[in-house]
Amino acid sequence: MATVSFDKATRIYPGSEKPAVDALDIEIEDGEFLVLVGPSGCGKSTSLRMLAGLEDVNAGAIRIGDRDVTHLPPKDRDIAMVFQNYALYPHMTVADNMGFALKIAGVPKAEIRQKVEDAAKILDLTEYLGRKPKALSGGQRQRVAMGRAIVREPQVFLMDEPLSNLDAKLRVSTRTQIASLQRRLGITTVYVTHDQVEAMTMGDRVAVLKDGLLQQVDTPRNMYDRPANLFVAGFIGSPAMNLVEVPITDGGVKFGNAVVPVDRDALSAATDKTVTVGVRPEHFDVTGSDSGQGLAVTVNVVEELGADAYVYGTAKVGGDDSKDLVVRVSGRDVPEKGSTLYIVPRSGETHVFSTSTGARLSD
């Protein structure tokens, strides 16, 4: 087991001027499960491949434990990688696939057999050890790929979208299995996904990347409760946080006809005339139409989920322009399509960002 540090690690691909990964700085703890997440092309695979030694590091350094591995070949880094396509050898049995790396390393046969059997037991693959990959389901193949990494007892596991070939239901059960297996083995893991739900449910901490730049690295809870900027606010959470540009007024900012109190220090930091306020769909209170309070939302679509429902509507929030909003309401009290819903953002649950820089202004 070991810590992993990206120390301002930078990758500039030949022929490109802009770094694919720009001065990435992350300290990963021993035994931690860190998820790298972000939109396509943001540099997740490049970051992982730099750690694996499959991609040159053009500036900065990468350390595993106290070893500087920046220029070490992959085989000397003591890592095991699980890829999206599993890369199983089709002509070998499951047992041979799992033991292959150990065989290459010259480990005695009996010891390989023991390690493969132990891993198969953990992964529920014992009865498939004699089969070829083509006679397995997608989920079973995925577990063989995991098994191949486990038998090597590496210091670090690297996984690049290992669930993307599975159907939606299997993804959910497999992500739980991988997360609990990682916790049991306690091996430091860096896991790449573009799926923010996967990131939030699996990671001890989540690192959000955009255009090769680290936006925030935090626990899933902090990431959700205190997104560091507009990008993270919009990226983490589903349905996404409502983000509305609103004018600054005395004592706060105006959200519809409600004044949302905002920390003075935060506002004085904003040199703009407007700020962008963020409210998650579950952080609105529904008020009665007769209370004269709240923002009038015209209901366009209602998505019923049983326990609760998401109302997709439009409202005049800032200026004269109508703005689309998503509001979570109780499943027992669902408004009609076409009706008007009156809402106020719950105090203490609003986020304020600079419209121009995107930086978080509120606490």
Binding residues for ligand ATP (CB under 6 A):
13, 16, 20, 38, 40-46, 194
Task: Look at residue 79 and give the partner it binds from ligand ATP, Mg ion, none, a contact being a CB closer than 5 to 8 Å depending on partner kind.
Answer: none
The strand ranges marked E within 87-194 are 156-160, 188-193
Q: Which does 271 bind (CB under 5 to 8 A by kind): Mg ion, ligand ATP, none?
A: none
b/e for 243-267, b at 16 or more Cβ within 10 A? bbbbebeeebbbbbebebebeeebb
Cα distance between residue 11 and residue 85, in whole Å: 24
In 10 A of CB 84, how many CB atoms? 16
* 46 touches, from Mg ion, ligand ATP, none (C-beta below 5 to 8 Å by class): ligand ATP
E strand spans, 195-339: 205-210, 213-218, 242-249, 252-255, 258-261, 274-279, 284-287, 295-304, 308-316, 322-330
The residue assigned the tokens 């953002």 is 345
Q: Which does 74 bind (CB under 5 to 8 A by kind): ligand ATP, Mg ion, none?
A: none
DSSP letter for 290, please. Answer: G
* Site size for Mg ion (CB under 5 A): 1
In 3D, which of 289, 282, 287 has the Cα closest to residue 311? 282
In sequence order, the β-bridge partners of residue 35 are: 191, 206
Alpha helix (H) residue ranges in the chain: 44-52, 94-104, 109-123, 138-150, 168-185, 196-202, 220-225, 230-235, 264-268
C-beta of residue 47 within 8 angstroms of C-beta of residue 5: no
Q: Which does 40 bind (CB under 5 to 8 A by kind): ligand ATP, Mg ion, none?
A: ligand ATP
Parallel/antiparallel/unpaired status of strands 284-287 and 350-354: unpaired
The pattern of x and - marking residues 45 through 84 that bind Mg ion according to CB under 5 A reads: x---------------------------------------
Report what 203 binds from ligand ATP, Mg ion, none; CB cut-off 5-8 Å by kind.
none
Min separation Cβ 34 and ligand ATP, Å: 15
Closer CB to ligand ATP, 193 or 242, in the complex? 193
Both tokens assigned to 171: 């993804």
Site string for Mg ion, 21-50 (x = CB under 5 A): ------------------------x-----
**In terms of CB distance, is 42 or 258 closer to ligand ATP?**
42
Residue of closest CB approach to Mg ion: 45
- From the list ligand ATP, Mg ion, none, partner contacted by residue 43 (C-beta under 5 to 8 A by kind): ligand ATP
Q: What is the secondary structure of 45-62 as a DSSP string?
A: HHHHHHHHTSS---EEEE
Structure tokens at 30: 């021993």
The nearest distance, CB 196 to Mg ion, in angstroms, is 15
68 phi/psi in degrees, rounded to 5: -80, 110
Nearest distance from C-beta of residue 274 to ligand ATP, angstroms: 32
Nearest approach in angstroms of CB 42 to Mg ion is: 9
The CB-of-49 to Mg ion minimum distance in angstroms stands at 9
* Distance, C-alpha 190 to centroid of its chain: 12
Question: Are 9 and 48 a contacting pair, CB within 8 Å?
Answer: no
CB of 45 to Mg ion, least distance (A): 3
Cβ 215 to Mg ion shortest distance, Å: 17
Q: Which is nearer to ligand ATP, 194 or 316 (CB)?
A: 194
Quick one: 38 or 278, whose CB is closer to ligand ATP?
38
- Residue 274 touching Mg ion (CB under 5 A): no
Binding interface with Mg ion (CB under 5 A)? 45
